[in-house]
Amino acid sequence: MAAGWVLFWLGGFPPLAFFGHPLDLGWAGYVLGVFYLVWLLNLYNFMDGIDGIAGIEAITVCLGAVLLYCSGSETAELWKEVLLLAMAVGGFLLWNFPPARIFMGDVGSGFLGLVFGIFSIQAGWLSSQLFWSWLILLGVFIVDATWTLFCRVWRHEKIYEAHCSHAYQYAARRYGSHKAVSFGTGAINIFWLTPIALGVGRGALEGVLGLLLAYTPLMLLAINFRAGARERE
Residues listed for the chain: 233
Please report whether residue 230 resides in a domain. no
Q: Is 144 annotated as a binding residue?
A: no
Return the amino acid letter for 87.
Answer: M
pLDDT for 159: 85
pLDDT for 73: 60
Please report whether residue 96 resides in a domain. yes
CB 167 within 8 A of CB 41: no
Question: Rounded distance, CA 210 to CA 168, Å?
Answer: 23
Q: Which domain holds residue 124?
A: 2-224
Q: Is 42 annotated as a binding residue?
A: no
Please report whether residue 77 resides in a domain. yes
Q: What is the pTM of this model?
A: 0.95
CB 157 within 8 A of CB 211: no
Please report whether residue 208 resides in a domain. yes
pLDDT for 93: 96
Contacts of 24 (CB under 8 A, 6+ apart): 15
pLDDT for 200: 96
CA 208 from chain centre, in angstroms, equals: 16
pLDDT for 41: 97
Please report whether residue 213 resides in a domain. yes
pLDDT for 21: 83
**Mean pLDDT, 10 residues at a time, over the chain (233 residues)?**
94 89 86 96 96 97 95 77 96 94 93 97 94 98 97 91 94 96 98 97 94 98 95 70
H or E stretch at 210? helix 207-224
Please report whether residue 229 resides in a domain. no
List of long-range contacts for 181-187, beta carbons under 8 Å, 24+ apart? 181/50, 181/53, 182/50, 182/51, 182/52, 182/53, 182/56, 182/98, 183/56, 185/53, 185/56, 185/57, 185/60, 185/140, 186/56, 186/57, 186/59, 186/60
Q: How many domains does the chain have?
A: 1
Please report whether residue 218 resides in a domain. yes
Please report whether residue 90 resides in a domain. yes
Cα separations in angstroms, 83 against 151, 165, 212: 35, 32, 27
